[in-house]
Amino acid sequence: MEENQSYLATEKVGKLMGKYAVPCIISLLVGALYNIVDQIFIANASYLASYGNAANTVVFPLTVIALAIAVMIGDGCCAFVSLKLGQGSGEEAAGSVGLSVLMTVISSVCLCAVYLLFGEPIITVFGGTVNEETFALSKEYFFYIALGIPFYMFGQAMNPVIRADGSPKFAMASTLLGAVLNIILDPIFIFCFRWGMMGAAVATVIGQIATALLSLWYLLHMKSVKLSRRAFRPNQGIAGRTLSLGICSFLSQISLVAAMAAINNMVRKYGALDPVFGQELYAQIPMAVVGIVMKVFQIVISIVIGMAAGCIPVVGFNMGAGRRDRVKRLFSLLLICEAAVGLASLLIVELLPRGLIGIFGSANESVYYTEFAVKAFRIYLCMIVFACLNKATFIFLQAMGKAVASTMLSMIREIVFGVGFALLLPLFFGLDGVLYSMPVSDLLTAVVSAVVIASTYKQLSRQPGADSFAGYGEE
pLDDT in tens, 326-352: 989 999 999 999 999 999 999 999 999
Instruction: Give per-residue pLDDT as tens, 260-271.
Output: 899 999 999 999
Indicate the pTM of the whole model. Answer: 0.79
Mean pLDDT across the chain: 89
Instruction: Give per-residue pLDDT as tens, 451-469.
Output: 999 998 888 887 554 344 4
3-state DSSP of the chain: CCHHHHHHHCCCHHHHHHHHHHHHHHHHHHHHHHHHHHHHHHHCCCCCHHHHHHHHHHHHHHHHHHHHHHHHHHHHHHHHHHHHHHCCCHHHHHHHHHHHHHHHHHHHHHHHHHHHHCHHHHHHHCCHHHCHHHHHHHHHHHHHHHHCHHHHHHHHHHHHHHHHCCCHHHHHHHHHHHHHHHHHHHHHHHHHCCCHHHHHHHHHHHHHHHHHHHHHHHHCCCCCCCCCHHHHCCCHHHHHHHHHHHHHHHHHHHHHHHHHHHHHHHHHHHHCCCCCCCCHHHCCHHHHHHHHHHHHHHHHHHHHHHHHHHCHHHHHHHHHCCCHHHHHHHHHHHHHHHHHHHHHHHHHHHHCHHHHHHHCCHHHCCHHHHHHHHHHHHHHCCCHHHHHHHHHHHHHHHHCCCHHHHHHHHHHHHHHHHHHHHHHCHHHHCHHHHHHHHHHHHHHHHHHHHHHHHHHHHHHHCCCCCCCHHHHHHC
Instruction: Give per-residue pLDDT as tens, 83-131.
Output: 888 777 888 899 999 999 999 999 999 999 999 999 999 999 998 988 8
Give the model's pLDDT for residue 388. 96
Percentage of the chain beyond pLDDT 90 is 58
Give the model's pLDDT for residue 91. 86
Give the model's pLDDT for residue 280. 87
Q: Which of 244-248, 316-320, 357-361, 400-404 has the highest mean pLDDT?
A: 357-361
